[in-house]
Amino acid sequence: MDMQEEVEGLAILIRDLRKHKNLTLGELATRIDRSVGFLSQVERGLSRPTVADLTAISETLGVPTTYFYSLSKPRAVPWVTRPDERRTLYYAGGITDVLVSPSIAAGFSMLESFLQPGASSGEGHLNDSDEQGGFVLEGELTIWYGDAAEPVTLGPNDSFQLPPHAQFRYANLTDSPTRVLWVFN
């Protein structure tokens, strides 16, 4: 699938799940602290949510964030994924996540995140119900965790692990791309 097909696939998943949960656009928008207009554009594939937006949507709708990767491509071997078989989410803010796990139904999921220079997960802190960690493959990843005033910057071969419902946000504050392998439980 190309980028527009991936964006439209995400839009359908969000809209269908919202309707399944019997929430109006206005109710969901209020719960995630975004405008109805923005959420409407996301559900029509005209705008992309930030990582923080999609995390808030998933928490509000009662599904893990990995739910939005459920439109898997056919795989030749069920327990292996090849690059052309992977689902990709393109976020606002310069972040692209690729589901590298063969299954989202297993005990953990893996994502490869690409952060463009200046990319950010969003202004607000994430509050994901999943335990998660990451391994910086290249570039730098800056993380603001909890109430700490100072962020921590990680470089290649650095890793981190955060408990469920950790309040954090992240960004690439450099002029070079960053790649991170994320693991969610």
Q: How remote is the C-alpha of 54 from its chain's centroid? A: 6
Alpha-carbon distances of 54 from 29, 107, 138, 160, 170, rounded to whole Å? 12, 21, 24, 21, 14
The answer on 19 and 46 residing in a single domain is: yes
Q: What are phi and psi of 153, to 5 degrees?
A: -105, 125
With respect to residue 89, please indicate whether it lies within any of the assigned structural domains: yes
With respect to residue 166, please indicate whether it lies within any of the assigned structural domains: yes
Predicted local distance difference test score (pLDDT) of residue 72: 57
The answer on 90 and 155 residing in a single domain is: yes
Predicted local distance difference test score (pLDDT) of residue 43: 94
* Ordered DSSP codes for 43-85: HTTSS---HHHHHHHHHHHTS-GGGGG--PPP-SSTT---GGG
Which residues are CB-neighbours of 27 under 8 A, at least 6 positions away? none
Q: With contact defined as beta carbons under 8 Å apart, do 55 and 126 qualify?
A: yes
Predicted local distance difference test score (pLDDT) of residue 131: 93
The tokens 């910086």 sit on which residue?
Answer: 136
With respect to residue 76, please indicate whether it lies within any of the assigned structural domains: no
Domain that holds residue 160: 83-184
State the total domains in the chain: 2
The DSSP code for 138 is E
Predicted local distance difference test score (pLDDT) of residue 4: 87
Full pLDDT tens readout for the chain, 185 residues:
688 888 888 998 899 899 989 999 999 999 999 999 999 999 999 999 999 999 999 999 999 888 888 655 667 888 898 888 888 899 999 999 998 988 777 789 899 999 999 999 998 888 888 899 999 999 999 999 998 779 999 999 999 999 999 999 999 999 999 999 999 88
Q: What is the pTM of this model?
A: 0.82
With respect to residue 147, please indicate whether it lies within any of the assigned structural domains: yes
With respect to residue 75, please indicate whether it lies within any of the assigned structural domains: no
CATH code of the domain in which 132 resides: 2.60.120.10
CATH code of the domain in which 17 resides: 1.10.260.40
Tell which of 69, 104, 126 closes a domain: 69
The answer on 177 and 96 residing in a single domain is: yes
**Six-digit token string for 59:** 């928490």
The answer on 100 and 22 residing in a single domain is: no
